[in-house]
Amino acid sequence: MSVVYSFFSGWVDRSGASIGGRLPGYLMALMGVVAMMVLAASPAHADVPNAVPPKGEHQGKHVEQPIEFPHDIHANVNKINCMYCHTYARRSKVAGIPPTSKCMGCHMVIATDKPRIKKLTEYWEKREPPRWKKVHDVPDFVHFTHEKHLKRFVFDNQGMEVEKVSEVCAFCHGEVKKMTVAEKVKPLNMGFCARCHEANKGPFDCWKCHK
Amino acid sequence: MSLNNILTNWSRYRKGAEEGGFHEYEHQWGMVVDLNKCIGCNACSVACYAENNLPVVGEARYAKSQFMSWMRIERYWDEPDLEPYQASPTANVDVWIETNPPAGKTALKPSMPGSYAEGLLEPGGQGFEERVGVFGTKGEMQDFGASFLPMMCQQCHAATCEPVCPVAATYHTPDGLNAQVYNRCIGSRYCSNNCPYRLRYFNFWSYYEDAWPEPLHMQLNPDLAVRDKGVMEKCTFCVQRIRVAKDEAKMENRKVRDGEFATACVQTCPTGALVFGDLQDPESRVSKLWRFHQVEQGKTKQNKQNKELRGYRILEGLNTDPSVMYLERVREV
């Protein structure tokens, strides 16, 4: 039986049965204040030094992909660096979708019996790329480069390890390593960008981003 | 906060201009147009259409001045009182526009509608004789004496368009450029009415609907938005190229080199009449030319030591402080 504390019903076990009295109100308020202070002092992305992660949540529509690509198995279980597949992120505007040959580089031998890999092999043998759909899209009048953001937050960032690049990616893409196919969980609108640019002292000229 | 940012920058530049020039720019992109070298071929204008996703609006809209050429060649006639060119009666010419054609030749009536696009200009084709009067060498135009003036946004440092915008969609960038933010623009057209050069163009229609029928839409430049109806637009000095050059320089931790990139018109000009560069870099070609011709920024009248120098800025007496210097054409006297 695991015991958790609920703000509303005091100490409860997982089944919801109360096993202790509710704490007095002033203590709850104090705990709330302490919790807020702790949250403020230690941002969710404590692994990225010299950076204030952007704030904002968004519930994007689920985008159906030709193959339900499991980001969680690749990035979380097998700890593959984001930039291994999205290799263009460090040197161009777009992060890029890896070519099927990159997938097949591993999946010629790894997990060939899984249904998703069989589907991938089918594409490979047909010499046809899977038509991946874009999830994180910004309007046409917005100029965004992955290259410069990675330079600022990863490569030119004192004390930042390249292995932890997924924490930087998560600023705008959310915890992709907990997802299968990518979902849009950040708003990616002007307020979202502008607040982050303000907090991290990014450029603030209209024509830096608008085209 | 962002609005505050715009207003602060804006007033800073404006005040700087009033006090004899704001000099804290990162860059100061400028241009030199040598009218001696300009042959009026319109290649710059075509390049601009291709680079900046400019729609071709068609004759009817063109006639209403709803065209979108950010870079246009204005044509002036040197000697309008010149006698019409008289070819010798024995010249081997089939069509004549003069009122008194030589014996055996027919006279043509000018100002008939027609266009090259309609394919009606083939000699012997239907209506050729009437139509050639408009476009032919001996139509309403003189045979010689034309001079050309390429006009792109002058990127004024004391731009008259900026203070009148009700939503701050046009403002001055730290690069010394006069910027237009399309998604901020509400289409009040104050800026266009306040521009002494008439170099701002308004999207009266959703031109993208018919300007690039499939598969022509594939040629659109992805570095630039395709503008919709109700938005003002103008020459940006190819800001997308500036942006790429600056990004590359920043990635390599260096300054932007002179001549590393050029705007589309400068790149295309077959005679090299246009020169583009950073006026803040004293070694750039542009600033050398400005110095040589003794043209200075922040002045309403240039104080030239040598009157023979050709440099001038268009309408600088209005205190617009443009970034484009023109070199006067040398004429035969």
pLDDT tens readout for residues B279-330: 989 999 999 999 999 998 888 888 888 888 999 999 988 888 899 999 998 8
Alpha-carbon distance of A115 to A104, in angstroms, equals: 15
B213 three-class SS? coil
Q: What's CA B87's distance to the chain center, in Å?
A: 35
Is residue A8 predicted with pLDDT exceeding 60? no
Q: Which two tokens stand for residue B187?
A: 């289409």
Domains of chain B: 2-78+148-327 (3.30.70.20), 83-143 (no CATH)
Q: Are B146 and B77 in contact (CB under 8 A)?
A: yes
Closest by Cβ to A210, choosing from B1, B183, B250: B183
Q: Are A25 and A14 in contact (CB under 8 A)?
A: no
Closest by Cβ to B247, choosing from A148, A198, A205: A148
Average pLDDT, chain B: 79
State the virtual CA torsion across B289, B293, B295, B296 in degrees, nearest 10. Answer: 60
Q: Report how far apart, in Å, the C-alpha atoms of B228 and of each of B24, B70, B121, B143, B211 are.
A: 34, 16, 34, 40, 12
B251–A contact, CB cutoff 8 A: yes
Give chain A's count of helices (H) and strands (E).
Answer: 9, 2
Is residue A145 predicted with pLDDT exceeding 80? yes
Is residue A148 predicted with pLDDT exceeding 60? yes
Is residue B94 predicted with pLDDT exceeding 80? no
> Sorting pLDDT into bands at 50, 70 and 90, what band is B194?
very high
Rg (CA), chain A: 22
Alpha-carbon distance of A75 to A167, in angstroms, equals: 11
Residues 6 or more apart whose CB falls under 8 angstroms from that of B116 comprise B135
Lowest-confidence range among B86-90, B99-103, B232-236, B253-257? B86-90
Residues of A in contact with B223 (CB under 8 A): 143, 211
> Sorting pLDDT into bands at 50, 70 and 90, what band is B91?
very low
Q: Are B54 and B68 in contact (CB under 8 A)?
A: yes
Alpha-carbon distance of B329 to A35, in angstroms, equals: 75
Distance spanning both ends of chain B, measured CA to CA = 60
Return the amino acid letter for A44: A
Q: Are B157 and B10 in contact (CB under 8 A)?
A: no
User: Smallest CA–CA separation between A211 and chain B, in Å?
Assistant: 6
CB contact under 8 A, A148 and B1: no
Return the amino acid letter for B126: Q
Q: Which two tokens stand for residue B114?
A: 């027609």
Task: Output B332 or A34, whichever has higher pLDDT.
Answer: B332
Is residue A36 predicted with pLDDT exceeding 80? no
Dump the DSSP string for A188-208: -SHHHHHHHHHHTT----HHH
User: Smallest CA–CA separation between B240 and chain A, in Å?
Assistant: 7
> Sorting pLDDT into bands at 50, 70 and 90, what band is B142?
low
Alpha-carbon distance of B91 to A112, in angstroms, equals: 83
Consecutive H or E run containing A30: helix A25-41
Which residues, numbered 88 to 117 in chain A, qualify as contacts with chain B under a Cβ-Cβ cut-off of 8 Å?
none
Q: Give the model's pLDDT for residue A185.
A: 92
Q: Give the model's pLDDT for residue A31.
A: 53
Identify which of B321, B27, B297, B19 has the alpha carbon closest to the alpha carbon of residue B174: B27
Q: Give the model's pLDDT for residue B79.
A: 57
User: Smallest CA–CA separation between A141 and chain B, in Å?
Assistant: 5
**Between vectors from CA A49 to CA A48 and to CA A52, what angle results, nearest 5°?**
80
> Sorting pLDDT into bands at 50, 70 and 90, what band is B15?
low
Strands B29-34 and A10-13: unpaired
Task: Output A108 or B132, whichever has higher pLDDT.
Answer: A108
A134–B contact, CB cutoff 8 A: no
A162 three-class SS? helix
Of all residues in chain B, the one with the smallest CA distance to A141 is B225
> Looking at residues B98-107, what average pLDDT do you find?
48
Is residue B131 predicted with pLDDT exceeding 60? no
A84 three-class SS? helix
Q: What's CA B16's distance to the chain center, in Å?
A: 27
Alpha-carbon distance of A144 to A137, in angstroms, equals: 10
B225–A contact, CB cutoff 8 A: yes
Residues of A in contact with B184 (CB under 8 A): 206, 210
Which residues, numbered 49 to 88 in chain A, qualify as contacts with chain B under a Cβ-Cβ cut-off of 8 Å?
none
Residues 6 or more apart whose CB falls under 8 angstroms from that of B81 comprise none
Q: Give the model's pLDDT for residue B24.
A: 75
Task: Output B82 or B60, whichever has higher pLDDT.
Answer: B60
> Looking at residues B123-135, what average pLDDT do you find?
45
Alpha-carbon distance of B307 to B248, in angstroms, equals: 42
Is residue A18 predicted with pLDDT exceeding 90? no
B191 three-class SS? helix
State the virtual CA torsion across A27, A33, A39, A40 in degrees, nearest 10. Answer: -160
Is residue A112 predicted with pLDDT exceeding 60? yes
Residues of A in contact with B6 (CB under 8 A): 206
Count Cβ atoms below 10 Å from residue A211 Cβ, excluding itself: 21
Rg (CA), chain B: 23
Which residues is A10 bridged to in the sheet? A6
> Sorting pLDDT into bands at 50, 70 and 90, what band is B64?
confident
Closest by Cβ to A207, choosing from B179, B225, B226: B179
Average pLDDT, chain A: 81
| Crossing angle of the two packed helices A100-107 and A115-126, in degrees rounded to 10 | 130
Of all residues in chain A, the one with the smallest CA distance to B168 is A206
Residues of B in contact with A190 (CB under 8 A): 2
Q: Give the model's pLDDT for residue B86.
A: 45
Task: Output B138 or B321, whichever has higher pLDDT.
Answer: B321
Q: Give the model's pLDDT for residue B76.
A: 80
A194–B contact, CB cutoff 8 A: yes
Is residue B262 predicted with pLDDT exceeding 90? yes
Is residue B9 predicted with pLDDT exceeding 80? no
Q: What is the ipTM of this complex?
A: 0.71
Handedness of CA A153, A154, A158, A164 (dihedral sign): positive
Q: Give the model's pLDDT for residue B120.
A: 38
Strands B178-180 and B274-278: unpaired
Dump the DSSP string for B26-48: S--EEEEEETTT-----HHHHHH
Count Cβ atoms below 10 Å from residue A75 Cβ, excluding itself: 21
Q: Are A6 and A31 in contact (CB under 8 A)?
A: no
What proportion of chain B, given as a percentage, has pLDDT over 70?
72
A8–B contact, CB cutoff 8 A: no
Is residue B219 predicted with pLDDT exceeding 50? yes
A168, exposed or middle or buried, with CB in 10 Å at 0-12, 13-18, 19+?
buried
